[in-house]
Amino acid sequence: MLAHTPVLRRAALATATALLIAGLAAAIDTRETAPRFRAKSLDGEQFSNESLKGKVVLLQFWATWCGFCRRDQPAVDAIVHDFESQGLVVLAVNVGESKSKVKKYLQDSPRACKIVATEDTNLAALFAAHAYPLYVLIDRDGTIAGTQRGAGGLEALRELLAKAGLKSE
């Protein structure tokens, strides 16, 4: 039995070391820094990583023809109203359509968020937005806190925002 004691000690030490390393790995923040971007809303407001530092930014990539985007529009508008006081900025990036088409759509379906046309930003290219809606959440430190592909409604958006520390009041 005494002959096995060093083996057991080594096994216990190896297990403890593995648990310590696993714990440290879990504590490391694996979030990526958001790529450098620029955007101009239809009303002329300029946005960039630098101008939005300290804010939580939700990017919504959408198109006027997208039924799922239309279905999520009231949820996006609701979170603008619910979280704006906590520093949330929502940029709805229309992908692949002309400004005139987007403006015509907005006459019948106004939005509470800032609307950005593809030609006024590099965001759609940076995030390879090809399926809509696509949501990308950037936290106050400028790192990507989460993404959501597809429409999920109000609760899904609230869960996404919680990843950047925003809570419903």
Separation of alpha carbons 83 and 56, rounded Å: 10
Name the token pair of 122. Answer: 């590099």
Is residue 52 within 8 Å of residue 138, measured between CB atoms? yes
Q: Which residue has the higher pLDDT, 72 or 5?
A: 72
Name the token pair of 81. Answer: 């109203």
pLDDT at res. 118: 87
Q: What is the pLDDT of residues 37-88, one digit of tens each?
A: 999 999 999 999 999 999 999 999 999 999 999 999 999 999 999 999 999 9
Q: Where are the domains of the chain?
A: 1-30, 38-162
Statement: residue 7 has pLDDT above 70? no
Q: What is the pLDDT of residues 82-131, one digit of tens each?
A: 999 999 999 999 999 999 999 999 999 999 999 999 889 999 999 988 89
C-alpha distances in angstroms, 114 versus 44, 65, 157? 10, 19, 17
Is this structure's pTM higher than 0.85?
no
pLDDT at res. 25: 37
Residue whose entry in the numeric block shows the structure tokens 């030609």: 119
Instruction: Say which CATH architecture domain 38-162 belongs to.
Output: 3-Layer(aba) Sandwich (3.40)
